[in-house]
Amino acid sequence: MQYPEPIARLIDSYTKLPGIGIKSATRLAIHTMEMAEQDVTGFAQALISVKRDLHFCSICGNFTETDPCAICADPDRDQSTIIVVEEVKDLMAIENAGEYRGLYHVLHGVLSPLNGKGPDDINIDTLVKRLQSHDEIEEIIVATNANAEGEATAMYLSRLLKPAGIRVSRLATGLSVGSDIDYADQITLIKAVEGRTLL
């Protein structure tokens, strides 16, 4: 059917979100019309606010209201270790796990020659400058995704930074905790055998 213009526009906006097709978007748009006025207004204000009030931390590239971000500004965090991630969502995933107490660096991308993305296109130069001006940094943990591009980026960083005497490590690949061996894919199994740890 021809939806009234305001509904059509909202459906269109919802379909721009990841994983939401035209059917879900229509359902969400209709639900929105039936929501309380203040919830919808709050939603709209929250959308505007994330674009207006959030910026990249000039040190690590995290999203933040203040500069530097709360993590970089926290003197209680371990200043000797930096986890390098591709995107802010990866930083958030590691923070949510709640164990790591060091710092971060967000590349905002990954090396991808096929897509024309080289070292100058991602946030590597700021990482190098950060290492040059902070002697206390001892280890870089590369937490790029466990795929070809993530591996390539990890290798590049390793070759770039190791000569400067910095320890560069990579997240372990292997079985997910709680998973069944017969459900693991072949490459993960091979990596898990290669990376076996002594008991």
Which residues bind to a copy of itself, rule: CB under 8 A?
Answer: 1-7, 9-10, 12-14, 16-19, 24, 26-35, 37, 39-51, 53-54, 63-65, 69-70, 87-89, 92, 95-96
Nearer Cβ to a copy of itself, position 17 or 172? Answer: 17
Nearer Cβ to a copy of itself, position 1 or 198? Answer: 1
For the bound state, the minimum distance from the C-beta of residue 112 to a copy of itself, rounded and expressed in Å, comes to 17
Task: Give the DSSP H/E element, type plus range, for residue 139.
Answer: strand 139-143
Query: Shortest CA distance to 100 belongs to which of 71, 65, 66, 63?
Result: 71
For the bound state, the minimum distance from the C-beta of residue 77 to a copy of itself, rounded and expressed in Å, comes to 12
For the bound state, the minimum distance from the C-beta of residue 125 to a copy of itself, rounded and expressed in Å, comes to 21
Nearer Cβ to a copy of itself, position 6 or 195? Answer: 6
Nearer Cβ to a copy of itself, position 43 or 115? Answer: 43
Nearer Cβ to a copy of itself, position 18 or 163? Answer: 18
Place of tokens 């070759």: 159
For the bound state, the minimum distance from the C-beta of residue 107 to a copy of itself, rounded and expressed in Å, comes to 14
Query: Shortest CA distance to 79 belongs to which of 59, 98, 65?
Result: 59
CA distances from 149 to 86, 113, 115, 145, 154 (A): 10, 9, 11, 8, 9
Buried b (16+ CB within 10 A) or exposed e, 83-113: bbbbbbebbeebeeeeebebbbbbbebbbbe
Query: Shortest CA distance to 123 belongs to which of 149, 104, 138, 137?
Result: 104
For the bound state, the minimum distance from the C-beta of residue 12 to a copy of itself, rounded and expressed in Å, comes to 8
